[in-house]
Chain A
């Protein structure tokens, strides 16, 4: 039992977000008489998380390198509007419009990165200026009709469509069940493989019973999620995109030299520089990635809404930043995981979704989101302090 206490205390930072998520789920299920947990709502919850999770992925990198990006909300709204205008007013094919918008995001990121890393303007200032400017540009772009409706079928499928189901068994989509099963098997295989490698190198590993319990818990979660989704329409395209994005950046952060450089620059920029790392370039690439992902987020949101509106992206930056902090990014930099930020985003979006279902107005929602952001950072600082003291 004592062992369990030690393990819990050591990993409280990692488990905290799951506890938060569980509390939110239970709470809203009660408050909404079960509507919150219904297959339809869970499915749309996943899709709503999509465009925030993509932002939070980029924000993870930005926060690790000790920066911040306040512009992502309105930039995502603005780039979504650009995609809409390209397709609707200029009849650009959807694929091409998407590529143009992604490239535009990358260019804006390059511009931000150069201002921050080469000219030396604090990211806070650059992105605050960006936030204001993009808000203006968004209003300007959507001014003519207020809202630009998107009628492109392919484009709208991204945020609303599902992978082909190949029929249903007892009301469950077949493809989703199969993918879920493969996913669970692969997950278990890789967990055991990683544990064995660690043991081979004499690294610390979780004691076997805890390891099994952890895996059983996560597998149960995945299984429950898959069953709920399969009961509805199956896995959505948004789900697929988020999965791919999170996987790519998890691999980049953990397995590539660039990922190491990001952690090094965030952990100690002076040491990184004297280690022969080009700190300025690391910062620039980070902002290119952030703003490209912002473009993707804008596309996902416009597609889901099937339109671009003057209020698109409002408050996204707060959700993404809060998601990253809840997911374990440190306010001091150098620490953070993309998978954590994914869970953190889910926490924030569940909160919004639940409050929407309860019929709470957006005014009170903003207040609660703000409080949650501060609480997440307080929790982060307190847990790190208790770990530092031992």
Chain B
């Protein structure tokens, strides 16, 4: 039997949630053995489409047909789709940190001899899988002891061990450093040679262009276009135009007449020891921020950037710290987030779902949470003040929701990020630390976050921006610090900086 050209055809797919039409007649065709990138703004329907394909939304809860290898499919569960050779790897990895790599790879489909697990065979098979994904690590290592890049590969290995034909990756590189990203893309290319078809959702257009054979753009639950990237070179601008429905000239809005003032924050000989890891994680860091300045902190994953931010912001991880911290020239000891907030420093986390927002509560609960004092009238929270405050940020940051009473967990990533930023701003900070402020959010929302940042520094606020995306670091910062292995390896003025120079320092 000759295989059809398309391994997968999703035909006229429609899916409605109460009050929202998430997908509206989407057509999505994937050729056998290609890497197919699916792009679109948050809320465009990418994840919904993939959930339909993988059986998360069972057959019957949507309209349209799924045709896999020329046969119509009716998946009733994830199990059904796995049996058909489809595996999905979600953004949040589904590994058990306390188990070893080989245990994780065969979790749920253990190799058995009689009623018992055949561990020897498992390890041998795991080694074979690891070879395919070029991971040169002992499979007996625990997953918690390897970096997030390797963890991502282990997830892929898990899929491979199930004899997957169609691999779906939902933003696989969102949490990876540049080096890990390149490595992952390289491995996807190799899997392609081995005959595995791959659908990848990504917001990073550069990598989309570098790897995709076909690019499909969704917008507002509809297929906008499908571009064959093997025939011609696709420009980033072109994709963005399809994604947002208009052209964004410069994604990094320029500020006019940047002038920054005195030093408002400084670290001197800042060293931190992490007792839980038993080693020093920050070595002798010297760092300063001027009033009205955006300072970028670049570096690879694990360079110690988030750790530095947390050590400043109340030291919630209980590092043992040596060194001095100055706010407006006065030496301070910030022993809790509460004290840091009092000194008008606030940290907006990279992990808005994990430790940023209370997802089960609404917008008006979350925004003032760090500074409820401001809403108190006597002993009680003034409802009027609360609503006004929340509405102010709701409008200023252009948060898209039904109202400030919408539960935060139901917002899109970009809007959650805006609520997270609003929560920081409600403390009226002088120094705002943004950790990966645009991770996992779409181009339109990114642009809005950048515009907000520029507006804030214009008002005299200072911003520290930690980011793994070099174009963002170059586009937004006034000065750039680069970290590597817990050390500041360099500082450079943005106008002199290039991606090459930064990468050089980041890998020093």
- A-to-B contact residues, CB < 8 Å: 6, 197, 201-204, 251, 255-257, 260-261, 263-264, 267-268, 270-278, 334-335, 390
Interface centre among A197, A201, A202, A278 (most CB of B within 10 A): A201
CA distance A299 to B127 in the complex (A): 66
In the A-B complex, list the 7 residue pairs whose CB atoms are closest, starting with the nearest.
Answer: A270-B355, A267-B358, A276-B338, A257-B372, A275-B370, A276-B337, A255-B380
Q: Which residues of chain A come closer than 8 Å to B313, judged between CB atoms? A: 274
Q: Which residues of chain B come closer than 8 Å to A390, judged between CB atoms? A: 17-18
CA distance A275 to B427 in the complex (A): 10
Minimum CB–CB distance from B207 to chain A (whole Å) comes to 30
Minimum CB–CB distance from A85 to chain B (whole Å) comes to 37
CA distance A203 to B383 in the complex (A): 13
B146 at interface (Cβ–Cβ under 8 A)? no
CA distance A255 to B360 in the complex (A): 18
Asked if residues B376 and A271 are in contact (CB atoms below 8 Å), the reply is: no
CA distance A13 to B355 in the complex (A): 27
Q: Which residues of chain A come closer than 8 Å to B354, judged between CB atoms? A: 270-271
Asked if residues B405 and A268 are in contact (CB atoms below 8 Å), the reply is: no
Q: Which residue of A lies closest to B382 (CB)?
A: A255
Q: Which residues of chain A come closer than 8 Å to B328, judged between CB atoms? A: none
Q: Which residue of B lies closest to A198 (CB)?
A: B405
Minimum CB–CB distance from A14 to chain B (whole Å) comes to 16
Asked if residues A268 and B359 are in contact (CB atoms below 8 Å), the reply is: yes
Q: Take A260-B369, A260-B381 as given contacts and tell me if A272 and B356 are in contact as well, using a CB distance cutoff of 8 Å.
A: no
Asked if residues A256 and B383 are in contact (CB atoms below 8 Å), the reply is: no
- From B360, B370, B373, A267 is in contact (CB under 8 Å) with B360
Asked if residues B383 and A197 are in contact (CB atoms below 8 Å), the reply is: yes
Asked if residues B423 and A275 are in contact (CB atoms below 8 Å), the reply is: yes
Q: Which residues of chain B come closer than 8 Å to A197, judged between CB atoms? A: 383
CA distance A263 to B359 in the complex (A): 11
Chain B: residues with Cβ within 8 Å of the partner, total of 38
Minimum CB–CB distance from A388 to chain B (whole Å) comes to 9
Q: Take A203-B403, A256-B380, A270-B354 as given contacts and tell me if A275 and B316 are in contact as well, using a CB distance cutoff of 8 Å.
A: no
Q: Which residues of chain A come closer than 8 Å to B347, judged between CB atoms? A: 274
B104 at interface (Cβ–Cβ under 8 A)? no
B66 at interface (Cβ–Cβ under 8 A)? no
Asked if residues A256 and B403 are in contact (CB atoms below 8 Å), the reply is: no
B270 at interface (Cβ–Cβ under 8 A)? no
B 303-326 contacts with A by CB, 8 A? 313-314, 316
Q: A204-B405, A257-B373, A263-B361 are in contact. List 15 more A-B contacts (CB 8 A).
A: A255-B380, A256-B380, A257-B381, A260-B365, A268-B355, A270-B355, A271-B349, A271-B357, A272-B369, A273-B316, A274-B337, A276-B371, A276-B427, A277-B369, A335-B360
Asked if residues A274 and B349 are in contact (CB atoms below 8 Å), the reply is: yes
CA distance A40 to B347 in the complex (A): 60
Q: Which residue of A lies closest to B405 (CB)?
A: A203
List, sorted by A's number, 24 A–B pairs whose CB atoms are closer than 8 Å: A197-B383, A204-B403, A204-B405, A256-B380, A257-B373, A257-B376, A260-B365, A260-B372, A267-B358, A268-B355, A270-B355, A271-B355, A271-B356, A272-B369, A273-B337, A274-B313, A274-B347, A275-B337, A276-B336, A276-B338, A276-B370, A277-B338, A277-B369, A390-B18
- From B355, B372, B403, A274 is in contact (CB under 8 Å) with B355
Q: Which residues of chain B come closer than 8 Å to A268, judged between CB atoms? A: 355, 357-359
Asked if residues B355 and A255 are in contact (CB atoms below 8 Å), the reply is: no
Q: Which residues of chain B come closer than 8 Å to A261, judged between CB atoms? A: 372
Q: Which residues of chain B come closer than 8 Å to A204, judged between CB atoms? A: 402-403, 405
Asked if residues A334 and B336 are in contact (CB atoms below 8 Å), the reply is: no
Q: Which residues of chain A come closer than 8 Å to B376, judged between CB atoms? A: 257
CA distance A235 to B217 in the complex (A): 68
Q: Which residues of chain A come closer than 8 Å to B379, judged between CB atoms? A: 255-256
Asked if residues B369 and A264 are in contact (CB atoms below 8 Å), the reply is: yes
Contact flags (1/0) for B261-291 with A, using CB distance below 8 Å? 0000000000000000000000000000000
B 185-213 contacts with A by CB, 8 A? none
Q: Which residues of chain A come closer than 8 Å to B314, judged between CB atoms? A: 276
Asked if residues A256 and B381 are in contact (CB atoms below 8 Å), the reply is: yes
Minimum CB–CB distance from A6 to chain B (whole Å) comes to 8
CA distance A149 to B353 in the complex (A): 56
Q: Take A202-B403, A275-B423 as given contacts and tell me if A263 and B337 are in contact as well, using a CB distance cutoff of 8 Å.
A: no
Q: Which residue of B lies closest to A278 (CB)?
A: B338
Q: Which residues of chain A come closer than 8 Å to B336, judged between CB atoms? A: 276, 278
Q: Which residues of chain A come closer than 8 Å to B387, judged between CB atoms? A: 201
Minimum CB–CB distance from B93 to chain A (whole Å) comes to 18
Minimum CB–CB distance from B369 to chain A (whole Å) comes to 5
Q: Which residues of chain B come closer than 8 Å to A334, judged between CB atoms? A: 358, 360-361
Minimum CB–CB distance from A7 to chain B (whole Å) comes to 13
Q: Which residue of B lies closest to A260 (CB)?
A: B372
B 340-372 contacts with A by CB, 8 A? 340-341, 347, 349, 354-361, 365, 369-372
Minimum CB–CB distance from B48 to chain A (whole Å) comes to 12
CA distance A263 to B402 in the complex (A): 23
Contact flags (1/0) for B377-400 with A, using CB distance below 8 Å? 001110100010001000000000
Asked if residues A267 and B361 are in contact (CB atoms below 8 Å), the reply is: yes
CA distance A263 to B391 in the complex (A): 21
- From B18, B358, B373, A271 is in contact (CB under 8 Å) with B358
Q: Take A257-B373, A264-B369, A390-B17 as given contacts and tell me if A272 and B403 are in contact as well, using a CB distance cutoff of 8 Å.
A: no
Q: Which residues of chain A come closer than 8 Å to B18, judged between CB atoms? A: 6, 390
CA distance A136 to B379 in the complex (A): 41
CA distance A53 to B148 in the complex (A): 49
Asked if residues B369 and A275 are in contact (CB atoms below 8 Å), the reply is: yes
Q: Which residues of chain A come closer than 8 Å to B341, judged between CB atoms? A: 276
CA distance A303 to B399 in the complex (A): 56
CA distance A136 to B370 in the complex (A): 44
CA distance A267 to B341 in the complex (A): 21
Q: Take A201-B387, A255-B381, A264-B369 as given contacts and tell me if A272 and B405 are in contact as well, using a CB distance cutoff of 8 Å.
A: no
Q: Which residues of chain B come closer than 8 Å to A255, judged between CB atoms? A: 379-381
Q: Which residues of chain A come closer than 8 Å to B372, judged between CB atoms? A: 257, 260-261
Minimum CB–CB distance from A288 to chain B (whole Å) comes to 18
CA distance A255 to B382 in the complex (A): 8
CA distance A114 to B358 in the complex (A): 25
Minimum CB–CB distance from A50 to chain B (whole Å) comes to 27
Interface centre among B358, B370, B403 (most CB of A within 10 A): B358
Minimum CB–CB distance from A200 to chain B (whole Å) comes to 9
CA distance A205 to B219 in the complex (A): 32
Minimum CB–CB distance from B183 to chain A (whole Å) comes to 30
Contact flags (1/0) for B149-167 with A, using CB distance below 8 Å? 0000000000000000000
CA distance A88 to B380 in the complex (A): 42
CA distance A257 to B340 in the complex (A): 19
Q: Which residues of chain B come closer than 8 Å to A263, judged between CB atoms? A: 358, 361, 365
CA distance A334 to B357 in the complex (A): 13
Asked if residues A272 and B338 are in contact (CB atoms below 8 Å), the reply is: no
CA distance A201 to B381 in the complex (A): 16
Q: Which residues of chain A come closer than 8 Å to B340, judged between CB atoms? A: 276
Q: Which residues of chain B come closer than 8 Å to A277, judged between CB atoms? A: 338, 369
CA distance A306 to B340 in the complex (A): 54
Q: Which residue of A lies closest to B339 (CB)?
A: A276
Q: Which residues of chain A come closer than 8 Å to B369, judged between CB atoms? A: 260, 264, 271-272, 275, 277
Contact flags (1/0) for B43-55 with A, using CB distance below 8 Å? 0000000000000
Interface centre among B338, B391, B427 (most CB of A within 10 A): B338
Minimum CB–CB distance from B355 to chain A (whole Å) comes to 4
Q: Which residue of A lies closest to B390 (CB)?
A: A201
Minimum CB–CB distance from A386 to chain B (whole Å) comes to 11
Q: Which residue of A lies closest to B310 (CB)?
A: A274
Q: Which residues of chain B come closer than 8 Å to A264, judged between CB atoms? A: 358, 361, 365, 369
CA distance A274 to B379 in the complex (A): 23
CA distance A270 to B358 in the complex (A): 9
Q: Which residues of chain B come closer than 8 Å to A6, judged between CB atoms? A: 18
